[in-house]
Amino acid sequence: MAVQQLGVVELAEKVGGALPESLAPDRPDDGALWVNAPKIADVAAFLRSDAGLDFNFLSSISAVDYISHFDVVYHLTSFSKRHTALMKTRLDGRYELALPTVYHLWRGADFQEREIWDLMGIRFEGHPNLKRIMLWEGFDGHPLRKDYL
Amino acid sequence: MYGIAMAKGLLVTLKNLTKKPFTVQYPEERLKQHPRFRGEEFVWYEERCTGCASCAKYCPLGIIKIVTTPSETAPAQGDKYKLELFDISIERCMFCGLCVEACPYDALFMGSGFEQGQYSRKGMVIDIDQLRNADKRPSAFFRPQLEDAGYDPQGGRPLDWQEVGRESWQWHEREKAGMKIARPVPSDLLADGPRVDSSFVEDSVPEPKATDGPAPAGDAE
Amino acid sequence: MSIRTEPMTVNIGPQHPSTHGVFRLRVTFDGEEIIEVEPIFGYLHRGTEKLAEERNYTQIVTLTDRLDYVSSMINNQAYCLAVEQLMGLEVPQRAKYLRTLTAELQRVASHLMGIGFFLQDLGTLGTPLMYAFRSREKILDLFEMLCGARITLSYSRPGGVFFDAPEDFWPALDQFLADFHSEFQELEQLVLENEIVMVRTRGVSLLPLDVAINGSVSGPTLRASGLGWDWRKMAPYDAYDRMEFDVPVATGGDNYDRFWVRIQEIHQSIRIVRQCIQQIEPGPTRADVPLVLRPEPGAEAYGRVEASKGELGFYLVSDGGISPYRCKIRSPSLMNLTVIEHLLVGWRLADMIVTLGSLDINLGEVDR
Amino acid sequence: MDCVLAPDNILHDTLLFRVIYEWVGQLLPCGLSYAVAGIAIMLLLVNGVLLGAGGFSWLERRLIGRFQNRVGPNRWGPFGALQPMADLFKLLFKEDLVPRGADRIVFTIVPVAMMAPVVLMMAVVPFAKDTALANLNVGVLYVLAVTSITSIAIFMAGWASDNRYALFGASRGVAVLISYEVPVVMSLLGVVLVAGSMALDDIVSAQTVPFLLVQPMAFFVFLAGTSAELNRTPFDLAEAESEIIAGYHIEYSGVKFALIQATEFGAVLTSSAVMVTLFLSGWSGPFSDYLGWAWFLLKIGVLAFIFSWVRATFPRLRIDQLLAFAWKFLLPLSIINLFATALEVYFLRNDAGMLTTNDLWLMAGINFGVAFACLLTFGTLIQDKVRPAKSLTAASLSSPEVG
């Protein structure tokens, strides 16, 4: 059985039922589960622990700079249920951006969150070791941002 | 029992002691290079070049520098530019061959050498005169017409500009149909004396748009 | 009477023969035993993701060559899959086979290198490494035949592969497969059951499955911990859905198992190559795509493959321009290093080097 | 002034010394002549060892090259034979760096301290009939004593370098040397028992049957122990290239590095020489009255080949495994060997306390049996640790079931 991407409607239903007000409305219909930024860790914990979903593997975390806002994208995989899902959240503005960490759910988030902090400048609250990873401490700016030339 | 596998290992190395070494003693012996080898000495045919700078635009590193002026004779001869500068600074070149792929006129080829070591960075820039005077043994990289002619840059003779183009047969048709279709080898590639292909101008000058914006290589046609 | 001891902090790397590049570990030792590990990255950071934002879609292929530079073919493939997903391109059948074939050859080459350096780290004087290189060189020769380069290949392009294989590639490939069997057997005889290799690697640096999954570990490292998760099987891309192959799984999760899984994967890769040769049919090798691609604005794609080190993913976001708006690279080597602390603490200096070798990281990919 | 060496002089049996001494003695006073002859012999010895080290470094690199299916050094001179010269000149002209934090004096003494035991060891080894520089009656003891200097030199190097890798190397090196000293000494006791003498000359003449056959276990223990003391794979922990880069000599460069390297290669030769003398019946062989040196060199060559062969094949052990190997495997082996030999000698010797050739053959048979039994026992005991790889079962290769 090949791996399927989980339909967003089904996913939203489950998550919305368990964690009301965690899903962000009015987001583009791109097959992703749009989550309110402060709730990201809660939703992640639900996705991780729910027996029917069981997303035990964090494939990747990416951040995209849209100038007016940032999107943070989580690619999740479930080894047992053989499905994947896309979870997104949006951070408005460009300064003092912060997001709850998922480090404690998936240890694999460690370096990726550090990388996003390093290169994109999004702080992950609760990450135990949020230092720069590719660049050195004291580097000025976050080079993957669109305004960094 | 303990030690059996270790003894086996000893036998393996002992067996290799008697084998002929697989390494090649480089300056004296050389590995056979395939005709597609992407080497350093770029081969450029000024006669074929229109100065469209597709190669420069397509270079991921931007190491090709081209300065052109409209030639005085241009209106009479078509839209050819006069090249004043054609520098390839190969110290930063990564030999991806995208410039060769981008060239719509088959004017630029990869070379086949790899021994252009220099003592200074300045020496690593191939300028237009060097390109003009360079040995014209083009690599067959992205040039199926050379491959079909069985041209070997190592052993073959230098090729003239009329011999290297793909204008005399419809290579892109074959590209879409796959390798297995038999196709006559263009005999003009093998001719001894240079032969002016009168069909060249007519066949291969594309729409004028090719000079602005990255031009599609032949396969888009 | 007690002896007063002091922990000693040593920088292993960035200039160290066995850190596989410019990886640096700040390790605190108690005698020879490791009590603290801090990995430090970035010595090879070239800003690939930023560079990709200024290159067009075809030019980025050349950047991917330089990620995991011992398996460029698979990187090209992963990137091209992402672009094709982004553009909705249909890849010709022959190109799919060629990609599968070359990717498997590249996997063999990469694993040979991984095994060779693993054994080098174990302290062999380069003998298994030379035997591994003997075969790897032949693969590189095949690649040179195919695309004119040996390491930085750029063979796959969005929409297929850049060119069909030359006629003399196929006999050369057959010759390679014929030679490879005995050469690789020699390597196996030399090390696979060697008692010193056994005592050095069995039960050392254990990686339990739950730690591995939680740490986003993938590839042979994950499979050595007991989960046969292989994207080639789970979400077949290119021609893998038509290939018959097994996924080697070991349950111990120790250094030996990681080594063993790689050895077995080489056998499986050769199996796939043979099937490709049988099944491949004439046809076009590249979809009719222009050199400069322009996907729809707002389109995004996550293309993933099972690279030689693990799950390699490219997350591309387009804004309708000729270059991606964002190109995120999910590199398996970096993710596999998440568990490094778990693997190293409590073991000795000598084990540390071997464990690093068994993870088979590639710094081009870790730092990008 | 005719100087004649008194027969009770320790160097009386050394033909070369006596010739030089008596020839120079015609011109110079006897005391001076003694010194000149001594220095001449010393120079011969030192240069001989260094030359041998250079030659062996070339040989080993060529050999390992071929073991690895490549060529090895082949650029300079016929078959690259002048490669050691090229290496030497390169190293001589390199800058001689001393780290800032290093203990300069100790740091500088180290190469000499390392070189000394290697050269000193050669003093008692008989190259051919009557050719030992000094036929000490405690030759075996002397060899063992002299080799122990190495451990001090290694520790000096590690401590003086002000480098943590060097410290690792040094502490490993010392641990290894101390551990391996014990089984090596124990294994030699068996040889001494059979030969009935500690003088190397007597041991050679006692070997009507090479002691390799009479004392197989002792030979194995000695070979393994020597490998460890020489820092050669699989026991090259002290300078483990892939772990602590060069270990105790990580900070050495230029001439000092050249000396340390020469020591390492020279030590292989001198240890081989000792081993040849103790186990392979030294210089004896057909026509050994004239061709003793050739036999001697040939046997050294064979041992050096084995050293290179092993080095080209095996990975390295870990420090705890290495020490366990010494204490839990080699030491019991050598003790068993010692007891077996002692019993055999006790029962087999004749009234004069001598063993005949037939006795030696009998002992060879018994000892091989004992060795085989020991190997079997120990092999079974450690089977768990080195159980063979999982066989390629269907379960481990089938399409995965994820749960």
> What are the tens digits of pLDDT across the range C231-272?
888 888 888 888 888 888 888 788 888 888 898 899 989 989
Q: How far is CA C241 from CA C233, C275, D43, D340, in A?
A: 7, 12, 75, 67
CA distance A1 to chain D (A): 10
Domain check: are D131 and D234 in the same one? yes
Residues B179, C162: C-beta atoms closer than 8 Å: no
Q: How far apart are CA D53 and CA D306, in angstroms?
A: 16
> Considering the domain boundaries, does residue D246 fall inside one?
yes
Which residues on chain A are in Cβ contact (under 8 Å) with C317? Answer: 64
Res D132: pLDDT:
67
Residues D379, B2: C-beta atoms closer than 8 Å: yes
> Considering the domain boundaries, does residue B220 fall inside one?
no
Chains B and A touch (3+ CB pairs under 8 A): no
Q: Which residues contact C56 (CB under 8 A, 6 or more apart)?
A: B214, C292, C293, C322, C323
Res B215: pLDDT:
42
CA distance D401 to chain A (A): 9
Average the pLDDT over C348-353 and give the result.
Answer: 87
Res D385: pLDDT:
59
CATH for B150: 3.30.70.3270
Which residues on chain A are in Cβ contact (under 8 Å) with D402? Answer: 79-80, 82
Domain check: are D318 and D336 in the same one? yes
Q: What is the largest CA-CA distance in chain C?
A: 81
Q: Which residues contact C114 (CB under 8 A, 6 or more apart)?
A: C262, C308, C357, C360
Q: How far apart are CA A94 and CA A71, in angstroms?
A: 11
Chains D and B touch (3+ CB pairs under 8 A): yes
Contact of B94 with chain C, judged by CB distance below 8 Å, is answered with yes
Q: Which value, to the nearest 10 degrees, does the dihedral of the CA atoms of residues A124, A130, A133, A139 take?
A: 90
Q: How far apart are CA C282 and CA C95, in angstroms?
A: 10
Which residues on chain B are in Cβ contact (under 8 Å) with D314? Answer: 6, 9
Residues B179, C127: C-beta atoms closer than 8 Å: no
Domain check: are D205 and D283 in the same one? yes
ipTM above 0.90, yes or no: no
Taking residue B185's Cβ as centre, other Cβ atoms within 10 Å add up to 12
> Considering the domain boundaries, does residue D329 fall inside one?
yes
Number of B–D residue contacts, CB under 8 Å: 48
Mutate to test the interface with C, among B22, B33, B40, B151 (most CBs of C within 10 A): B22
Domain check: are D326 and D206 in the same one? yes
**Residue among A116, A92, A91 nearest A102 (CA):** A116
Q: Which residues pair with C196 in a beta bridge?
A: none
> What are the tens digits of pLDDT across the range B49-71?
777 888 888 888 888 888 877 66
Q: How far apart are CA C85 and CA C81, in angstroms?
A: 6
Q: How far apart are CA C227 and CA A84, in angstroms?
A: 17
Reported pTM: 0.85
Contact of D76 with chain B, judged by CB distance below 8 Å, is answered with no
Res D253: pLDDT:
86
**Residue among D274, D332, D12, D4 nearest D123 (CA):** D274
Which residues on chain B are in Cβ contact (under 8 Å) with C285? Answer: 175, 178-179
Q: How confident is the model at residue B216 (pLDDT cuts 50, 70, 90)?
A: very low
Domain check: are D106 and D74 in the same one? no
Residues D315, C250: C-beta atoms closer than 8 Å: no
Domain check: are D345 and D225 in the same one? yes
Q: How far apart are CA D123 and CA D146, in angstroms?
A: 11
| Eight-class DSSP state of C159 | T
Which residues on chain D are in Cβ contact (under 8 Å) with B2? Answer: 375, 378-379, 382-383, 386
Domain that holds residue B128: 24-204
User: Chains that contact A by 3+ CB pairs under 8 Å?
Assistant: C, D
Mutate to test the interface with C, among B19, B34, B61 (most CBs of C within 10 A): B34
User: Which CATH class, in words, describes the domain spanning A4-125?
Assistant: alpha beta
Number of A–D residue contacts, CB under 8 Å: 4
Picking from B1, B2, B10, the nearest residue to D313 by CB comes out as B10
Find the chain D residues whose C-beta atoms sit closer than 8 A to any C-beta of A: 402-403
Domain ranges of chain C: 8-367
Res B196: pLDDT:
40
Q: Which residues pair with C317 in a beta bridge?
A: C300, C326
3-state secondary structure of D47: helix
Domain ranges of chain A: 4-125
Which residues on chain A are in Cβ contact (under 8 Å) with C318? Answer: none
Picking from C65, C194, C284, the nearest residue to B178 by CB comes out as C284
Task: Give the residue on A whose Cα is nearest the Cα of D403.
Answer: A80
Q: How far apart are CA C167 and CA C145, in angstroms?
A: 10
Which one of D93, D109, D144 terminates a domain?
D93
Of A19-28, A104-113, C58-67, D138-147, the least confident: A19-28
Which residues on chain A are in Cβ contact (under 8 Å) with D399? Answer: none
Domain that holds residue D28: 1-93
Q: How many domains does chain B have?
A: 1
> Considering the domain boundaries, does residue D183 fall inside one?
yes
- What is the total residue count of chain D? 403
Average pLDDT, chain C: 87
Residues B21, D312: C-beta atoms closer than 8 Å: no
Q: Which residues pair with B88 in a beta bridge?
A: B64, B126
For the domain spanning C8-367, the CATH number is 1.10.645.10
| Eight-class DSSP state of D330 | I
Mutate to test the interface with A, among C37, C49, C53, C216 (most CBs of A within 10 A): C216
Res B167: pLDDT:
60
Supply angle C-alpha C73, C75, C81, rounded to 5. Answer: 105
3-state secondary structure of B89: strand
User: Chains that contact D by 3+ CB pairs under 8 Å?
Assistant: A, B, C
Picking from C325, C328, C368, the nearest residue to A60 by CB comes out as C328
Domain check: are D109 and D179 in the same one? yes
Q: How far apart are CA C238 and CA C94, in angstroms?
A: 10
- DSSP character string of D18-37: HHHHHHHTTTS-HHHHHHHH
Contact of B34 with chain C, judged by CB distance below 8 Å, is answered with yes
User: Chain B neighbours among D 367-396 (CB < 8 Å)?
Assistant: 375-376, 378-380, 382-383, 386, 388
**Angle, in degrees to the nearest 10, between helices C255-279 and C93-122:** 150
Q: What are C100's two structure tokens?
A: 């599968």
3-state secondary structure of A113: helix
Which residues on chain D are in Cβ contact (under 8 Å) with B7? Answer: none
CA D144 and chain centroid, separation: 11
Average the pLDDT over C107-118 and give the result.
Answer: 91
Domain check: are D89 and D113 in the same one? no
Q: How far apart are CA D366 and CA D360, in angstroms?
A: 10
Q: How far apart are CA D118 and CA D111, in angstroms?
A: 11
Domain check: are D37 and D103 in the same one? no
Domain check: are D141 and D12 in the same one? no
Q: B172 pLDDT exceeds 60?
A: no
Which one of D93, D118, D142 terminates a domain?
D93
Taking residue C322's Cβ as centre, other Cβ atoms within 10 Å add up to 17
Q: Please list the ranges in chain D whose pLDDT falls under 70.
A: 1-2, 9-14, 130-132, 288, 353, 382-403
Residues C164, B178: C-beta atoms closer than 8 Å: yes
Residues B17, D71: C-beta atoms closer than 8 Å: no
Q: How far is CA C188 from CA C71, C131, C257, D387, in A?
A: 22, 10, 14, 16
Res D13: pLDDT:
66
Whether the CB-CB separation of C227 and C236 falls below 8 Å is answered with no
Q: How confident is the model at residue B127 (pLDDT cuts 50, 70, 90)?
A: confident
Res B168: pLDDT:
52
Q: C130 pLDDT exceeds 50?
A: yes
Domain check: are D85 and D120 in the same one? no
> Considering the domain boundaries, does residue B215 fall inside one?
no
Return the higher-pLDDT residue of B184 and D121. Answer: D121
Res B221: pLDDT:
35
Q: How far apart are CA C299 and CA D273, in angstroms?
A: 76
Q: How far apart are CA A100 and CA A113, in angstroms?
A: 10
Whether the CB-CB separation of C187 and C330 falls below 8 Å is answered with no
Q: How far apart are CA C158 and CA B12, in angstroms?
A: 45
Res C108: pLDDT:
92
Number of A–C residue contacts, CB under 8 Å: 85
